[in-house]
Amino acid sequence: MKFLCVACDEAMKLQDAMPAEDPGTLAVVYCCPECDRQMAMLTNPWETQLVQSLGVKIGPGAESESTGCPFAGAVQGLQSAETESLSTSETTSPPASAEVTAEGALVWTPAALARLERIPEFVRPMARQGIEHWARDHGWPQVTEEVLEAARGGMGL
Amino acid sequence: MKRYSEIAGDGGSDILGQVIEQRRAQAASLAGVGHLVAIASGKGGVGKSTLTLVLGLALRQRGRRVAILDCDLNGPCQAQLAGLQEVPWHLSEEGLGVPRRADGLGVLSLGGVLAAEQPMPLDSVAQGDAHTWRATREMAMLSQLITATSWGELDLLLVDLPPGSERTLHHLGVLGARTSVVLVTLPSALATGVVSRSLGALRAAGHEPLGYLENMAGYYCRDCGEVRSLFPEAPRSLDLPCLGSIPFDPEWAERGDRGWPPLGEERDPALEAVGHAAEALLASLAHRESPEEEDPR
């Protein structure tokens, strides 16, 4: 989708994208580089979801980002709780003696967590659960890179 | 007034550029895969998943480096068929490692990480009306999964598709033009009619399948050792090369529930038929020229 300032016959440039007050909606602001006239495109939840479903990001500088949640460049409010949870865990140093977090999940070392973040966001909770289950069954107190490699040895038939 | 094509870019987000980058990254992830083969059918319940797994085992037995990608995000079953349900995914330095059986067959299936009673979680800012975005979301998720996976060097990646002509086309759009297609049908007039429509839809979209597999082509009786007729009459065949006709073997259901054991030296009509189909598939692939991927711009 492109926007044209009819008066100037000039392509408008994206200035900002932000969640609008109505749930699931976005306000995407464009500006004409000639006359500085601004306009906002307001999306309904289905339009927002359709673009989000493509796995792309909306916002200034979105094209230069390589990973993350759709709209991450400008729209933090639409990020999922899982992303926020992972970000929090990432900055937490693993306590040497503690086995579990306050939520009851096994602690992951930053290096192990970095590997988890290389897989798509939608499968992280499931992959995480499976690895923690395996680690508990095999007596590991926390999830390290060593655990991730050891789990690989537990092949099937 | 300027026309659409006279304006470079979209003013900021470069959505088209992001989509192209996604495709480039996916193609790079699959660069070590010799052949992508989608196992598809317009008809559900024809045994695509089981045939995909056993075909993979037969190809592995013939020394090929093979993996299976289970594209059914809503009803994944390849992990159970392969006996890899309890095997955690390998998070490697390079990305997601493909879980492998002891015989070397790799199987990537959401069934390996989703509990049996757990549906595929899909959050949405849209309240309801999932038909407006769900297919797009699923295809993007599949592409992300393929891209994040470290496939390594493979001779073949068998892609087990969910049923339906339209979904087959959606998946082929994600997998790319170099994907070969094998259709699966049953020797019944009903199934053949539905799969014929799938073939028509594929051809209309520019895909010419390599051939088809006829599953449940008779019933293998383990008591008398003979293959008996299962369907009342032989329907017209599809207008495609038949890569194999595989009789129904009731023991396959039990193997699938337990997780298929490695193929050994056992010889029975069903496994022999799959072995012939594997060889026919390899011969067919050897003669196929890979088309160039389209530039979405």
DSSP for B120-141, written as a single string: PP---SS-S-GGGTHHHHHHHH
C-alpha distance across the termini of chain A, in Å: 51
What are the backbone angles phi and psi of residue B203, rounded to the nearest 5°?
Answer: -65, -40
- The reply to whether residue A1 touches residue B140, judged by beta carbons under 8 angstroms, is no
Chain B, nearest residue to A43 by Cα: B126
Mean pLDDT value across residues B161-184 = 94
pTM for this structure?
0.86
d(CA B70, CA A151): 21
d(CA B231, CA B190): 11
List CB contacts (< 8 A) between A116 and chain B. 91
Confirm or reject contact between A14 and chain B (CB < 8 A).
Answer: yes
The whole-number pLDDT of residue B42 equals 92
Q: Given phi > 0 = left and psi -120 to 50 = alpha, else beta, which region is B123?
A: beta
For residues B141 and B73, is the Cβ–Cβ distance under 8 A?
Answer: yes
Alpha-carbon dihedral A97, A103, A106, A111, rounded to 10 degrees: -90
The whole-number pLDDT of residue A66 equals 40
d(CA A57, CA B243): 44
Residue B295 pLDDT class (50, 70, 90 cuts) = low
Residue B11 pLDDT class (50, 70, 90 cuts) = confident
Rg value, chain B, Cα = 20
Reported as a single tens digit per residue, the pLDDT across B102-156 is 999 999 999 988 887 888 877 788 777 788 888 899 999 999 999 999 999 999 9
Give the single-character DSSP code of A71: T
Examine the predicted complex and report whether its ipTM is higher than 0.95: no
A1 in helix, strand or coil? coil
- The reply to whether residue A62 touches residue B133, judged by beta carbons under 8 angstroms, is no
Mean pLDDT value across residues B276-281 = 97
Amino acid (1-letter code) at residue A90 = E
The whole-number pLDDT of residue A11 equals 95
List CB contacts (< 8 A) between A154 and chain B. 86-88
Confirm or reject contact between A104 and chain B (CB < 8 A).
Answer: no
Burial class (CB in 10 A: 0-12, 13-18, 19+), B296: exposed
* Percent of chain B with pLDDT strictly greater than 90: 65
- The reply to whether residue A4 touches residue B136, judged by beta carbons under 8 angstroms, is no
Q: Which residues 28-47 of A are in CB contact (within 8 Å) with B?
A: 30, 45-46
Residue A152 pLDDT class (50, 70, 90 cuts) = confident
User: Which residue has 């159970």 as its token pair?
Assistant: B80
Reported as a single tens digit per residue, the pLDDT across B215-246 is 999 888 888 888 888 887 766 788 999 999 99
CB-nearest partner of A78 from B8, B96, B125:
B125
The whole-number pLDDT of residue B290 equals 66
Domain ranges of chain A: 4-58, 81-152
- The reply to whether residue B132 touches residue A133, judged by beta carbons under 8 angstroms, is no
List CB contacts (< 8 A) between A125 and chain B. 121
CB-nearest partner of B133 from A2, A46, A157:
A46
- The reply to whether residue A156 touches residue B83, judged by beta carbons under 8 angstroms, is yes
- Domains, chain B, with CATH or none: 26-120+128-286 (3.40.50.300)
The closest alpha carbon to B157, from B26, B246, B1, belongs to: B26
Sign, CA torsion A110/A116/A121/A123: negative
Reported as a single tens digit per residue, the pLDDT across A69-101 is 344 433 333 434 333 333 333 333 333 443 566
Mean pLDDT value across residues A131-144 = 92
The whole-number pLDDT of residue B293 equals 64
Q: What's the gap in Å between the CA of B232 and the closest CA on chain A? A: 38
- The reply to whether residue B1 touches residue A9, judged by beta carbons under 8 angstroms, is yes
- The reply to whether residue B12 touches residue A122, judged by beta carbons under 8 angstroms, is no
List CB contacts (< 8 A) between A123 and chain B. 89, 110, 113, 145
The whole-number pLDDT of residue A81 equals 35
Burial class (CB in 10 A: 0-12, 13-18, 19+), B69: buried
Reported as a single tens digit per residue, the pLDDT across A18-76 is 888 888 899 999 999 999 999 999 998 888 888 888 888 877 766 544 433 344 433 33
- The reply to whether residue A112 touches residue B99, judged by beta carbons under 8 angstroms, is no
Q: For residue A112, give both structure tokens.
A: 């192990």
